[in-house]
Amino acid sequence: MKILLCCGAGASTSLVAEAMMKSLPSEEQKDYVIEAKSYDMFHEVHGNYDVILLGPQIRYKKAEAQKIAGELNIPVDSINPMDYAMQHGDKILTHARELLLNK
């Protein structure tokens, strides 16, 4: 599964990506790509992912991102602010999986 995390600059979201990878059993880590990028890069890279999650600070871009990624049937949602702040990688990963299953 390839997951794109987008935020304003990509810095804080890279910590969330690390937390998500750490929440995976080591044998599953090879099956996942979780990358954090600035939303400025969204238009260039969105087609390379299965799921896109937006940081809470840019959740106002959700409708725009859904319209663009929706053309490729890629689900988009924002990350729960508490899970983001507390770096609950397991909860965020569960949310990403559910989005993919329900697309």
User: 7 catalytic, yes or no?
Assistant: yes
Q: Which of 48, 51, 60 is nearest to 7 (CA)?
A: 60
Mean of per-residue pLDDT scores for the chain? 94
Which helix (H) or strand (E) segment holds residue 13: the answer is helix 11-23
Would you say the pTM of this structure is higher than 0.75? yes
| Higher pLDDT, residue 87 or 28 | 87
Residue 59 tokens read as 């959740």
Band the pLDDT of 80: cuts 50, 70, 90: very high
DSSP secondary structure string for all residues of 32-79: -EEEEEEGGGHHHHGGG-SEEEE-GGGGGGHHHHHHHHHTTT--EEEP
Q: Amino acid letter at 75?
A: P
Tell me which of 7, 51, 92, 93 is the catalytic residue. 7
Band the pLDDT of 9: cuts 50, 70, 90: confident
In the predicted model, is pLDDT for residue 10 greater than 70?
no
Domains of the chain: 2-101 (3.40.50.2300)
